Amino acid sequence: MKEQIAAIQTEALARISAAEDERMLEDARVAVLGKKGSLTLAAAGIKDVPKEEKAAVGQLLNAARTEITAALESKQLALREIADRAALAGIDPTLPGRPILTGALHPLTQIRDEAIRILRRMGFALADGPEIEDEFHCFDALNTPADHPARNEKDTFYFDSGKLLRTHTSSVQIRTMESATPPVRIIAPGSAYRRDEIDATHLSVFNQLEGLYVAEDVSLPDLKGTLEYFLRELFGTSTEVRFRPHFFPFTEPSFEIDVKLQVKGQAPRWIEVAGCGMVDPAVFDSINKGRKDDAFNPDKVTGFAFGMGLDRLAMIRWGIKDIRLLIENDVRFLKQFA
């Protein structure tokens, strides 16, 4: 038995030493130490060894197993070191590393998030609604007459079902008033769709942010103060803001809002950034009719609404001259905002 153990040990160490890769080394381990390995079978035969020799044979078995295991571990480390050197062959570790490019939020996402943060600080809550709308929520409830150009198929994307892709997020204002009672103070950022020819200032899909505040004694000064504060927080405290009378079917009086843009090397000029106005009582009457109550009685509550294009705000904020750059995903353009 002692001679058998010595022979197994010698053969195992020779096979381990000759292993050229980890697969050959594993085969050697299994052949000696596996369930049916030569040393394992020898250990199982110790029951047949005379009692007076069992201690000595046991010590030989343990010594052989220890030496073979140590040889396996040493050989495995050596093989891995050889493999690592081979993997690095031809590589100059002294060369500088390649920079890892980091991503960033899209400029539209940045301007949207900042606008939301400003308005949230002023007490506005986020609201959402479907992008596929019906004519009632998109037009009728907003006091838009049947012959209004926006309702024409040349201006709006209609489905065969009669539904349409919303032309503004004002429909979210209507849905909010249908389900809530005054006071209501919400903002609705989201996509809007119009059949515009795509050029440097127009897209058929664009991003809007609209707001609505309805409560008792909401006044025009409240509207003016809210939007002036918002625009100065967004573009800088020295930003000049002006309101020009305009017409929207769902507000009365209505205004367009301009900010004075100062571009280096050019004379200051006014640029339109938003539309707004006091909610027309006809809108409240339409809401009450649908709700079958008097929650938005125009004799008891008033409100203001506003809307702006986030794409346009981004163009003004960063001096982007072509709106198409915002949808082309050109890394050369986008990396400026990283």
- What's the start-to-end Cα distance of the chain, in Å? 74
Interacting residues of 38 by C-beta distance below 8 A, sequence separation 6+: 8, 11, 12, 31, 32
Cis peptide before 268 (omega within 30 of 0): no
Amino acid 132 reads I
Distance CA 112, CA 106 (A): 10
pLDDT of residue 152: 87
- Element (DSSP H or E) covering residue 125: strand 125-126
Is residue 114 annotated as involved in ligand binding? no
pLDDT of residue 324: 93
pLDDT of residue 47: 75
Distance CA 135, CA 125 (A): 25
pLDDT of residue 20: 87
pLDDT of residue 233: 95
Distance CA 115, CA 30 (A): 67
| Tokens describing residue 334 | 């986008």
Q: Are 137 and 171 contacting, i.e. CB atoms less than 8 angstroms apart?
A: yes
Residues facing residue 261 across a β-bridge: 269
Q: pLDDT per position in the chain (338 positions), as tens?
A: 677 778 888 888 888 888 888 888 888 888 888 888 887 877 777 777 777 777 777 787 788 888 888 988 998 999 899 888 888 788 887 888 888 877 889 999 999 999 999 999 999 999 999 999 999 999 999 999 888 888 888 899 999 999 999 999 999 999 999 999 999 999 999 999 999 889 998 899 999 999 999 999 999 999 999 999 999 999 989 899 999 999 999 999 999 999 998 766 678 889 999 999 999 999 999 999 998 999 999 999 999 999 999 999 999 888 898 999 999 989 889 988 88
pLDDT of residue 263: 66
The edge-to-edge listing of strands for the beta sheet with 205-215 is: 125-126, 184-193, 205-215, 302-309, 269-279, 251-261, 241-248
What does pTM read for this prediction?
Answer: 0.70
pLDDT of residue 309: 94
pLDDT of residue 121: 95
pLDDT of residue 254: 95
pLDDT of residue 264: 65
